[in-house]
Amino acid sequence: MEWMGKLFASYLEPLLGWIRTEGIGPAIALVIVFIGLLIFCYIAYFSINDWRLIKKARKVLEQGTSESEFANNYNLINQDLLALPKIKFAWQEFSETLILPAKGDDGIAQPCSNTERPHEFFNLHDLNMGAGFTKSLPSIFIGVGLSLTFLGLISALSSAVDGIEQAAGDTQAIQASISGLLNAASAKFYASLFALFTSIVLT
């Protein structure tokens, strides 16, 4: 088992050495914030598009604010809703549950009836709107931040142990190793802090 541990440590050493690089903590934090900002812009862009789409759909439905208006304007409403991306798929499924308006003997269109409630079809999941995959992003950012922090701590501790062993009782060398440990550990918390901040923003 010991040789397996040494083999794994040898593969891990380049990563730990990179983590020990001065200034890497703030640099990683900056990268995390930048990626978070890009994701936020992505979410905002598609959220605005979805909001505009819903606004258009509501405007179409304003043509049938009452049962009689909806029955009389059904064909026009159906045509307009089928022209809207995302909305059209839910509308197609919902329209299959409708009892379409028919004109009575007096020539007046009878109210349209439905066998299923609209919210069964018109929701963020079925419309492919909303957070979607982004729901998992806050957890991913937290996981990345904590992983980098623990890697930094492992790197700092291993470096400090090596320094103390090589100090051979030299007080100044030991103090320098401990100081380096604390500086390295504190720097690596940048990543965890900003990853946590980014996850809060994206939640």
Sequence spans of domains, the chain: 45-130, 131-203
**Residue 132: which pLDDT band, with cuts at 50, 70 and 90?**
low
Measure the CA–CA gap between 19 and 145, rounded to whole angstroms: 13
Give pLDDT tens digits for 64-90: 777 778 877 888 888 998 899 888 888
Using CB atoms within 10 A of its CB, is residue 175 exposed (0-12), middle (13-18) or buried (19+)? exposed
Q: Report the predicted TM-score, pTM, of the whole model to 2 decimal places.
A: 0.67
Cβ atoms of residues 151 and 19 within 8 Å: yes
Do the beta carbons of residue 74 and residue 112 sit within 8 Å? yes
Q: Is 122 helix (H, G, I), strand (E, B) or coil?
A: coil
Of 81, 88, 82, which is closest to residue 128 (Cα–Cα)?
88
What mean pLDDT, rounded, does the chain reach?
A: 77
Task: Give the 3-state secondary structure of residue 58.
Answer: helix
